[in-house]
Amino acid sequence: MLDAAVTRRLRQIVGDQHFKDDRQSLVAHSYDGTPMLQSLPDGVIYPESTKQVSEIMKVLAEYRIPIVTRGSGSNLCGGTVPVEGGIVMVMHRMNRILEVDMENLTATAQTGIITAEFTAHIESLGLFYPPDPSSMKISTLGGNIAECSGGLRGLKYGTTKDYVIGLEAVLANGEIIRTGGKLMKDVAGYDLTKLLVGSEGTLAIITEATLKLVPPPKSKKTMLAMYKDLYGAARTVSRIIEAKIIPATLEFMDNPTIRVVDDFAKLGLPRDMEAILLIEQDGDPEAVERDIDLIREICVSEQADRLEVAETREQAEKLLTARRSAFTALARLRPTTILEDATVPRSRIADMVLRINDIARKYNVSIATFGHAGDGNLHPTATTDARDQEEVHRVEQAFEEIFEAAIDLGGTITGEHGVGLVKAPFLEWKIGSAGIEVMKGIKRAFDPDNLLNPGKIFAKETRKRVVIQHG
């Protein structure tokens, strides 16, 4: 419970209506999009400016009160659960686009704006902001930056870090820093901009971002390729890249996902296929037609059973629906849906999917897999019931082996969801103990009193690696 003096000072900064400590508000901000994680904060605050954020942090630093910043709470690694209590700072009031610079092709915005709203405004001006996380209709720019979000267009256009060129942020002591700017080149000292992107709210509170924009593609073409052979689909992915074609979208769904999506969306998908690839290319019309023709040839040569090419934008949207509805469709099956992510080299996608299937059978749990085949980022998704503790334990064991399998295949424990609370016990598997100590040193330099999103990224105890036997 907060000291009355703290509560009074925080209310003076933002106004009574923008600080809440009633039970309903605390419960509403005690969890995020991650299943089965919940912890009550001591208060919730809604700043409207960088100046207010700075003043809030000076108060919290004085009393050593932890803080968790959040946008819409769509986080999937427990990253915005206030595990050590304190204050949850909600950024939604800081939702303005401050400038769109048509000469430098940049936009500066406060980080509480919803990503889809920002993207729609940019597109209305004839420009393009490519990052497109699946949560973009509800997630904020600040959340995307904190997690370095990816999306369906990540293969061709990169992820959030590739478009953030400047930041305004508030440190744990309330000081305001500005990094980068409207510059394509800047090597003046350490790259603090890139360091803060993906730092999951543990180093600073990001309040404004300057983002790189690009011209929009002139045309798009979308197709589905369907396979009875999982390895044929995987080989197709590798051969497309080997042919020096970088599609805008190259997505994957396995058979369990295909069946569930078809039940949900009634798209008439072939339920006997082991894999479906969703492929979209954009750019100049001639180049798009040439690429799609070559991709079609590759798919046929790798024994694709069926091919569908959208002739209209409406048909393309129908095909895209198949991939975008995967999580929604799976969430209908059981009370609890655990959406994870792991990344492997794209040449090992089929191996990873088969390993996931073997692990699911081993622990007798239901796991469907879909994801971004072009960049090797897969989303094994378990459907379970949080009330069945024995089954949930088996799901947790399965995911532990899945993370181990990803590393065994040359991959990583997370490609876009972040470390947060869920992946913290496994981080050392990826970066080693020396890497952990370097990161802890960076954390201490920014936040010596561990006030910013404490309990995240660094686990109290590293999970022992399992030994996976292959037969």
pLDDT, mean of each 10-residue run, the chain (471 residues): 94 98 97 96 98 98 98 96 98 98 98 98 98 93 96 93 98 98 93 98 98 97 94 93 94 93 87 95 97 97 94 84 84 94 91 94 96 92 96 97 96 95 95 96 98 94 62 41
| Secondary structure of residue 414 in the 3-state scheme | coil
Specify the pairing of strand 67-70 against strand 87-90: parallel
Q: For residue 224, what are its two tokens?
A: 């589905």
| Secondary structure of residue 113 in the 3-state scheme | coil
Angle 136-137-140 from CA coordinates, rounded to 5° = 60
Angle 371-421-459 from CA coordinates, rounded to 5° = 125
pLDDT at 325: 83
What lies within 8 Å, CB to CB, of 70 at 6+ separation is: 29, 32, 80, 88, 89, 90, 91, 143, 201
pTM of the model: 0.94
* Residue 307 and residue 226 in contact, taking contact as beta carbons nearer than 8 Å: yes
pLDDT at 328: 87
* Residue 55 and residue 172 in contact, taking contact as beta carbons nearer than 8 Å: no
- H runs (alpha helix) in 243-337: 255-265, 285-301, 313-324, 326-331
pLDDT at 346: 86
* Residue 135 and residue 160 in contact, taking contact as beta carbons nearer than 8 Å: no
Query: Among 29, 13, 1, which Cα is nearest to 174's?
Result: 13
pLDDT at 471: 41
